[in-house]
A and B are shown apart, each in its own frame.
Chain A
Amino acid sequence: MSYLRRSSPLHAARASIAAAYCAALILAALLTKQPLILGAIGLATALAAAGAGVGRRVARSLYFSGPMVVLVVVVNALVSRNGLTVLARFGDWGPLGQVDPTLEAVCYGVVIGLELGVIVAVCALASATVDPDEVLRSLRRVSFSSALTATLATRMVPLLAADAQRIGEAQRSRVNGASRGAIMRAITTNALDRALDVAATLEVRGYGAARRPPRVVRPVSRHDVAFGCAGGLIAVLACSVSALHLAAFRFYPTVVGRFGVTQLLVAAGFVVLAVLPFLERRGIER
């Protein structure tokens, strides 16, 4: 929804490959709880976002998801009954019961928060670099009704954002302020009107009688190959590390994990694999 075509290797790759590359990063983040490796995947995502020219957008999404990450850390520390190293005893908190935060619960919360942050960042990267038109087009070939819903939703987001800004400005110009409820009702009614307008446009563009869109044969670019290979290798590395327990990390009852050369190499591997495709800068303009 925030896609903007930039001159970057990731934008130059086809949507399916760019999406697979991002999916591989998410898979890698989900398969490990090793803080060093999670941090490396986060760093890889940040470098990829910078390489794609969308660093600012990804940072903004992290800024907005920050409170959620903090909430995860705090809630886990307050509700978890696991861990042996008690940091403080807060006594009985009614419905929450005995609240005795432990070092292990805090560590686990921090790692889960880090994992969440990395996933949010990768999703923001995907949203800014994967061409939604290509995705919708592929979806239309598979499921028409899902594609219709997705098309409407995709178009409605920027449209409603613009409307909300207009209504907000209009309300700031009022002499007598309006209640929040009345404004919300107006925004909702407006959204319904806009949905009708967009639906009418879909109708007159022949979507109601649409046939399966043709398969587009597109030559495989160097960026398709590079990001396809990088995504595949990231997924293989993540699965191998998980299967071979190379980055095993335990939080309860006490924090046990290794920060050795192997983990360092795995972390470096993720960063290198994620960043390498960005070094090829030929043919990135469109």
Chain B
Amino acid sequence: MSVFELEEVTYRYPEATLAALDRVSLSVGEGELVVLAGLSASGKSTLLGIAAGVVPHFHGGTFSGRAEVCGADLREAGPAQLAEHVGTLFQDPETQVLMASVRAELAFPLENRGHDAVAVARGVEEVALALGIEALLERQTATLSGGELQRVALGAALAGRPRLLCLDEPTSQLDPVAGDELLGLLRRLNEEWGTTILLAEHRLERCLAAADRVIALERGRVVCDASPSAFLDWAHDAAPSLETPGARLLASFGLEPPPAGVKAARATLRAHGLLPPPAEPSFAQPPRRRRRRDASQPALRFERVWHELPAGRAILAGVSFELAPGEVLALLGRNGAGKSTLLRHAAGLLTPTRGKVSNSGHIALLLQNPGSYLIHDDVGDELPRAELVSAGLAQLIGRHPRDLSGGERQRLALAIVGGDEASVLCLDEPTRGMDRQAKAELAALLRERAAGGAAVIVATHDPEFAASFATRAILMADGRVIADAPPAEILSGGWYFATETARILGGHGGALTAEQGVAVIRADEAAGALR
């Protein structure tokens, strides 16, 4: 039975010249877990918007074709009517929590549906227990972390036991631990409750293992609709930027079928005698004071820096490290570990309560949302023309900053904070909502800046991205540096802060990317070390 069905649907946002969806026909059956794949602006969010009814009822625009959601025709039912059957979770948890307390937030959709007080109370308890957020029930939403907010928003979307759950990049703001927990939860909802799930996600390696089917979109059109394995097969030739590291690794050896997850990849490698023995478990050593090899001034130095809240906890607790010119550091850790605070101290936006931060030259800080820097209606007004030209952004003059792609916005914001001349470049979660292609471009840009002598620090939750640019990694927890080592050491030995290749190879040889994995396996093969 179909839960979501589109027939020749074409949709154009108000005042847009191009269609966001172009003659899309598809059908999603009851109990399916479908992953929507595609680059940014390919139409994934619009498709989810249709399933939730906000497209076209809330956004307006031009709509043609036929759409049916849980048996209701979209021409007759709007988001409020569809809310009886559809739960929706957008990207930004901050705008999805409406009430002051968690209990009221979970009760809100049930009250809107006219349930009596007993049913509301029972529904709240059940959804809280199902999501493991019962301890949060009496908390104020203003005090929740990003991950907790996302779980509460998911709880509100699930409170009415929807038949269809639509999620738009729900893990983009979560650390790997919270992201994996959320995906595990979705899998359980799908398997145990039979909830149909439509999930748009850029980090495909995290969710393909749980998917029944993948629908790939490109410029508003469905270009692939297949099982995860068949999708990866298609992506290898048609859309390499959608291919997962595991699939790339196996494709390099000509192995079939492409793996949807770590377990499948390991099984295939094992079957072909290519799975190296797992590395001995290594536990991160406490960071040692690095002895500088040269006498030159470090680009940035933290000396026992504390950031203590008045009558509150210590966000940073005695952080010490040095960063040399040309070094590229990935700052890893869970939400709330102190990464953003550390970057703010580096840029001088905060003053340590104890300790000292020193630097040589200009520090450029790019905060999480580059849109916060763009305050004019024309790119040409954001910076003098000469600076736009030198940053290679002259072609954007005349355009509204909102119309730029994620990557273009980032480059413009970087130019605004003086990233071209900075001796230290700090970026806070720069890949939120970015597709793999844009991430690769950003990684190249960072390497280029580092080659030019700038020290770079990037706080990120994305181990694949960190592996693509970093020469050093710091893992933080509770405001302290708990490991400071080369990325191969930190990103290959853990369960959560590890790349897909590292998890497939069990950390063997410190391989982080598919290409490094291929090299390690080939070397082992040549040495006869494989089982």
Name A residues whose Cβ lies closer than 8 Å to a Cβ of B. Answer: 3-5, 131-134, 136-137, 140, 151, 154-155, 158-159, 162, 166-167, 169-176, 178, 182-183, 185-186, 194, 197-217, 286
Contact = CB atoms under 8 A, between A and B. Distances in A.
Contact of B156 (A174, A197, A205): A205
A206 B113 contact: yes
Contacts of A214: 111, 114-117, 120
Contacts of A205: 83, 98, 108-109, 112, 156
A166 B375 CA distance: 13
Contact of A210 (B88, B112, B349, B372): B112
A198 B98 contact: yes
Given A175-B417, A204-B52, A133 B104 contact: yes
Given A133-B104, A204-B79, A175 B117 contact: no
Interface string B421-451: 0000000000000000000000000000000
B138 A5 contact: yes
B383 interface: yes
Given A200-B90, A206-B83, A174 B98 contact: no
Given A186-B374, A186-B375, A213-B111, 5 more contacts: A201-B96, A203-B53, A203-B78, A210-B80, A214-B114
Contact of B90 (A131, A185, A201): A201
Given A133-B100, A200-B54, A172 B79 contact: no
A201 B373 contact: no
Interface in B334-385: 344, 347, 349, 362, 364-369, 372-376, 381, 383-384
Interface string B74-109: 000011110110111010101111111101100011
A182 B417 CA distance: 17
A5 B143 CA distance: 11
Interface string B368-406: 110011111000010110000000000000000000000
6 A-B pairs with the lowest CB-CB distances in the bound complex, closest first: A208-B80, A206-B83, A211-B114, A133-B104, A186-B375, A209-B80
A175 B416 contact: yes
Contact of A175 (B80, B138, B418): B418
A155 B138 contact: no
17 contacts: A4-B140, A5-B140, A132-B100, A133-B103, A134-B104, A155-B99, A169-B344, A174-B416, A175-B364, A175-B416, A176-B384, A185-B375, A200-B58, A204-B87, A209-B112, A211-B112, A214-B114
The bracket for how many chain B residues form the interface is: 35 or more
Contact of A203 (B79, B138, B369): B79
Nearest to B54: A200
Contacts of B344: 169
Nearest to A286: B138
A162 B108 CA distance: 23
B142 interface: yes
Contact of B112 (A3, A5, A207): A207
A159 B160 CA distance: 26
A198 B95 contact: yes
Contact of A159 (B79, B80, B95): B95
A151 B365 CA distance: 35
B144 to A, nearest CB: 12
B83 A176 contact: no
Q: Which of A133, A204, A217 has the most CB of B within 10 A?
A: A204
B104 A137 contact: yes
A3 B372 contact: no
Contacts of B52: 204
A3 B78 contact: no
Interface string B109-133: 1011111110010000000000000
B418 A201 contact: no
Contacts of B375: 167, 171, 178, 182-183, 185-186
A200 B60 CA distance: 12
A206 B84 contact: yes
B195 to A, nearest CB: 16
Contacts of B109: 205-206
Contact of B80 (A5, A162, A207, A217): A207
Contact of B101 (A131, A151, A171, A200): A131
